[in-house]
Amino acid sequence: MSEMNRNDQERVNESFARGVEGFTEEDLEKVRKDGAVAEEKSSNLGKQFESFKLTWSLLQDYWAGDYKNVPWKLLASIGFAVAYLVSPLDIIPDFLPVLGFVDDAAVFALVVSSFQSELDAYQEWKRNQPK
C-alpha cells in the first residue's frame, strides 16, 4: 500500500481528533448497523486489516455485554475509525485505486498506537475466554 504525504497525514490526524471528540453513543449505534459494509471494506486495509479485526471484535464483545472494561475514548476512536472506513467522504476518496484506502488504514493505525495497552488487555482477556 502506498504512503500518504505529510499534508494528508496531518489532515487525517486532525480529522481523527475532531471525530473522536464529538463521537456519541448514537454514532456508535450507527457504526454497528454499518457492520457489513465495514467488514467488506476492511479487506482493503492492507497491514491494518488485523487492527480492524481486533477493534471490531472488541466492539462486538462490548455490544454483547461481554467486555465492559474499556474507556469511552477507545470506543469512540474505534467507532470513528469504522465510520471513516465506511464513509466515501474522507481525505483520500475510496474510488482511487490503492490510494483510496491509505487514509482509512492510517486511522486504524492511530487507534492502535493510541490505545496499545488497552488493546493488549483486551487480547489477553479474549485469549482467556472459554471456547
Q: Indicate the number of domains in the chain.
A: 1
Report long-range pairs for 72-79 (Cβ below 8 Å, ≥24 apart). Answer: 73/20, 73/115, 74/111, 74/115, 74/118, 74/119, 75/28, 76/20, 76/23, 76/27, 76/28, 77/16, 77/20, 77/23, 77/110, 77/111, 77/114, 77/115, 78/111, 79/23, 79/27, 79/28, 79/31
The 10s digit of each residue's pLDDT in 4-15 is 678 877 877 788
Domain hosting residue 123, numbered range: 6-127
- Note the pLDDT of residue 1: 46
Regions of the chain where pLDDT drops below 50: 1
pTM: 0.82
Please indicate, yes or no, if residue 1 is contained in any of the structural domains.
no
Please indicate, yes or no, if residue 10 is contained in any of the structural domains.
yes
